[in-house]
Each structure stands twice: as structure tokens, then as C-alpha cells.
Chain A
Amino acid sequence: MLEVRDLHKYYGSFHAVRGIGFDVARGEIVGFLGPNGAGKTTTMKIIVGYMTMSAGEVRVDGLDVIADSLEVRSRIGYLPENAPLYDDMTVSEYLAFIADMRGLRGPTRKERIDHVMGVCSLEEKRSAGVKTLSKGFRQRVGLAQSIIHDPKLVILDEPTVGLDPNQVVEIRELIREIGQRNTVILSSHILSEVEATCSRVLIVHRGDIVANGGIDELEREHGERGVEIEIEAPAKAADELAAAVSGKARVVPGKGERLRLFIATAESDAAGRIVELAAKKGWRLHEATRRRSSLEDVFRTLTTENEVEEVRTSAAEESRS
């Protein structure tokens, strides 16, 4: 359905996308996950034909996005970030405009407009002015617009940003519904979103893909088993505790004055040993849970450790030059 090969994009001298490559098969819902500025939006804009790449190749349904731009655009539905809409139109005028631009005509045109209004629960807002809509409804109009021509590929850039929790749930359900018929790629910097809607995740960091796979798969591959503890102890205790179970400790950010640690270890009796050590040292242990690191941990390790490495290598490069 979608093939992206060795994609590069420079903004002036800034190398925003550095060799991204991936495939998306028909019927998948793929989450494009990464911190802000990772290159998600740029990649999406290239796929939908809003921008051209500096190097690389993108094919949609076997068609090149540059050479067959119009054909590709007619197969894609796209919701840009923040759902830009024409504020001086009503909802039905807006959808009618998009239907005209999509070349829908006659009975099909009316049928499709009614259909997407139904799917996105927009009937009650049919003749409401777009500028009077709440953020949630704007987002729905944006989604309706993106699927009006029943595209093979739907691309959604941060579809739930700025929505309240109820709206987020509604929009997610809507995306899952769209995903039953169409191939969907959505971007997000929110993990739970991707976990809730996507069958596969691409983690993007600094313009490149650092992980690609199903959510369980990623957790298994990049995740670690370990023990999470909450303890009243000096900060240096972390290393002692980790050494006791021959693992690696990492501070879990949280509130409160107690130290919260995740100690990655393969030992099966880790929790017991930690409790023993704490008792011996007189540290008050408040909680100890065995768990496997979640996608969130995977995401954090992949997008922060690399950062440290990158900073190191670039510093090394600088000192060399």
C-alpha cells in the first residue's frame, strides 16, 4: 500500500528527515510515534504530496508520489495537524466543497456526504458555521473530509491534540472504525493513543526510525523485566540495590520525596533480594512491584538514550573539527 524508501528532507541546512524507510500493508493502522520535532509531520507532508523530499522515494499503491502526484492524491485522505477548515462555511458547505474537489458527482456525492456525516456524528451540526464548532467537532469535520472519497490510505496528523478526554475517546473510536475499511497512518507524541488504536508502531527519533513493530513485539524486544520500587533512601542507594541483583537502576520520575526506581534485572528472585537489602540497610521500602517495562519505557529509552549518544558523537565531531 505504502512504501517509503530512504527518505531525506533538508530545511535549509537542517536535516529534518534522515533516511526514513518503511512499508505499510493494506488494512493496517500504523502509529507514527515520536517526540515533537522528530520528523513525523514532515514525512506525512511528503507522503500526501504537500512537499517534495530532498532524496528518496515514496510509493502509494505502487504509484510514485512525485510522478503520479494527482493519482496519489486522489487515493489519499489527509487530516493536517489542528484540522484547518474554512471558517466562513457551514459544515455541509465545507463537505460539499471537498466532495466537489474530490470529483464526486450526482447521487454518489450526496450519498458520500451523508455517509461521512453519519460516521462522524455530524448531523446535528449540518448547518452550523464551522467557526462556531468546538475543537472536538472541528476534528470530526476534518476526519469526515479525509474519508469522503473512501480513500485507500488515510493519513492523520496528531488527530487528538487539544481535545478533552471524552473527545479523545470518541475520536479514537472513530479512527478504529475508519481503520476497518481503510489503511490508516496516524502520528502522535502520546503513547496511550498509539497503544489504543494502532496495530503497529513506528518510533521516529531525530529524523529516523528507531523501532518498527507490533506493540507487544516492541515491548518484548526493547523492554526489560525488572522491579519497580519506592524507597526512602539516599540517591546513591540506587547503585547498591542494582548491584545486589546484578541489574541496572534508573530513576522513575514521579512526585513525592521518596526515591522511585526501576531496576532492570533478569533474576527471578530480585524483589526478595531487594527487600532483604533494604531491611539490612534500614531503608524504608514502601512498594516493590515486578513488572515488564511498558511501551512508554521503550519509547523513552529509544528517544532519550539516542539523544545522549547523538550529543556525544556530535560533541566528538566538533572537537575533532
Chain B
Amino acid sequence: MSRMTAIWKKELRSYFNSPIAYIFIWFFLVLTAIRFFYLRSEGPQGQIRENFFLANEASLTSYFSVFPIALGLLVPMLCMRLWPEEYKSGTIETLMTLPVRAWEVVIGKFMAMVSILFVTFSLSLTVPWAVSLAAKEGLDMGPVIGGYLGALLMGAAYCAIALLMSAFTREQVIALIAAFIVCLPLALAGTAYVEGPTPAWLSPVTKFVGFAVRFQSIERGVLDLRDAFYFLSFTLLFVTLNITVVEARRLR
């Protein structure tokens, strides 16, 4: 356990010693805020969402609705260094010959990614705060809490799969691209944006898998247990696979 914490601390330090954490946080906050306050958008079902001022309602639904795509775009950045850097610099050799279990290393790294999301979401709390100031009748905090909780669960799922993708390569850029290749389709699957190219027989699958589709009820502030369970088991599956991959490296 203390070894896991040591890994977690090391990775967090490395995030904040490099520009990655700052770029991630900045992009996420700016993109989501611009979209919420100034742009009109189309929801996963093709519904039009006006910007905050035109919509004229005290709700964060349309704020949360960008999260699936924003995270799908940005989380791959967070996995870039985690494994590839260890492989490339050879530190993996020192790391894996320490008396540490594979799961401690994997979960330590995973928690560091999730911690960055936590920091980012905490900083984004200024948005609900601003909305609550602007709204005459005040902001219902229930849906906000539910929304953030759901966002963390979804974010963790993105982290798990991005981290796994990065475990297969020693090149940071390849890790980034590989993570993109899985995260973006996951974000978009089942939404109106990709309805055209999706074959009809695949549609039930994409609607089941797609993060944005799953996130629809969460963004209204309803954290459905099924969705929570989906994101949790998704995370668990890919973290476990990652542990297996790390253990299997020993057997080469």
C-alpha cells in the first residue's frame, strides 16, 4: 500500500514538473467553459443546445454534456509518459526489480491520472458557482454533485483504457495516438454524430458502449446505477488487463 502511494506521488510530481498537467487542466477548463457560455451545440441525440445565456436556465446539463468528448480528446495526453517513459529510459528495470507487486505499480499510476482529473474538476467548480450566482432561483446542487461524480467515473474509465494502451509502446507519441484511437470512438459511439457511418446491426452495441450516450442521464444530474456500474466495471477490466500485461512482461 505504501509502495502504491510512493508510485502515486512520483507520478503526480512528474505531471506537475512537466507541462502536461497544466496543458491538460488549461485546455479542459477553457474548452468546456467556452462551449458552455458562448457556443451552440448539438447533443448526442441531435438536440440543439443554446449557449448558457440564450438557454436562460439554471442548469449545468449543457456544461456536463461536453465532458465525454473533452475527456476523450484530452485524457490520452495524461497516459503519454506513464509507461513509455519507463520503458524508454530503462527505469522500468529498476522499478520492477523493487519488491513491489504489479498491481501496486499499475494502480499507483492509474490513481495519479485520476488525481489530475480530480484537480481539474475541482477547479471547474467555478462554473457551477458562477451559474448559482447568476440564477435568480439558485442552483439545485443535487444534479451538480451527481454530474461531477458521474464525470469522475467516466474519466476513470478513459484513464484505465488510455493507460493500458500506453503499456504497449516505448514511444510517447505512439501512446498518445493509440489512446486517441480508442478514446475518441468510445466518446462518440452511439451518438447522432456517427449515426451515418454506423451499420444498423452495430447500433445497439455502440449505444451500449458509447460514453456520451451513457453520460446523457448523468449530465441531467441523474446518476443511474447501471451507468455507474458500467463505468466501474469498464475501469476494473482495463486496469486488470494492465496488471496482466505488466506481469507478462516478466515472462518474455
B-contacting residues of A (Cβ < 8 Å)? 11, 45, 48-52, 70-71, 73-74, 76, 78, 80-82, 84-89, 93, 97-98, 100-103, 105, 145
Contacts and interface: CB of A to CB of B under 8 A. Distances in A.
A82 to B, nearest CB: 6
Interface of B: 2-3, 5-7, 9-10, 13-14, 17-18, 89-91, 93-101, 250-252
Contacts of A101: 3, 6-7, 95, 98-100
Contacts of B17: 88
A109 B7 CA distance: 17
Contacts of A78: 93-94, 97
A88 to B, nearest CB: 5
Contacts of B94: 78, 80, 84-85, 98, 145
Contacts of A86: 10, 14, 89, 91
B97 A102 contact: no
Given A82-B90, A84-B91, A103-B2, A98 B13 contact: no
10 contacts: A50-B250, A81-B90, A82-B90, A84-B89, A84-B94, A88-B17, A98-B94, A101-B3, A101-B6, A105-B2
B3 A103 contact: yes
B18 A73 contact: no
A89 B13 contact: yes
B13 A73 contact: no
Contacts of B93: 45, 50, 78, 80, 84
Contact of B14 (A51, A52, A84, A88): A88
A11 B93 CA distance: 18
Contact of B13 (A11, A50, A70, A93): A93
Given A85-B89, A103-B3, 15 more contacts: A48-B97, A49-B96, A52-B251, A70-B101, A74-B99, A78-B94, A80-B97, A82-B90, A84-B91, A84-B93, A89-B13, A98-B98, A100-B2, A100-B6, A101-B7
Main SS class of interface, B: helix
A73 to B, nearest CB: 4
Contacts of B5: 100
B96 A97 contact: no
B13 A88 contact: yes
Nearest to A88: B17
A52 B250 contact: yes
A100 B3 contact: yes
A102 B10 CA distance: 14
Contacts of A74: 99
A80 B90 contact: yes
B99 A70 contact: yes
Q: Which of A50, A85, A87: most chain B Cβ within 10 A?
A: A50
From A11, A48, A51, A71, residue with most partner B Cβ within 10 Å: A51
Contacts of A84: 89-91, 93-94
A50 B246 CA distance: 11
A45 B93 CA distance: 9
B87 to A, nearest CB: 10
A123 B208 CA distance: 58
Contacts of A70: 99, 101
A307 B146 CA distance: 71
A80 B232 CA distance: 38
Nearest to B93: A80
A88 B18 contact: yes
Contacts of A80: 90, 93-94, 97
A45 B9 CA distance: 27
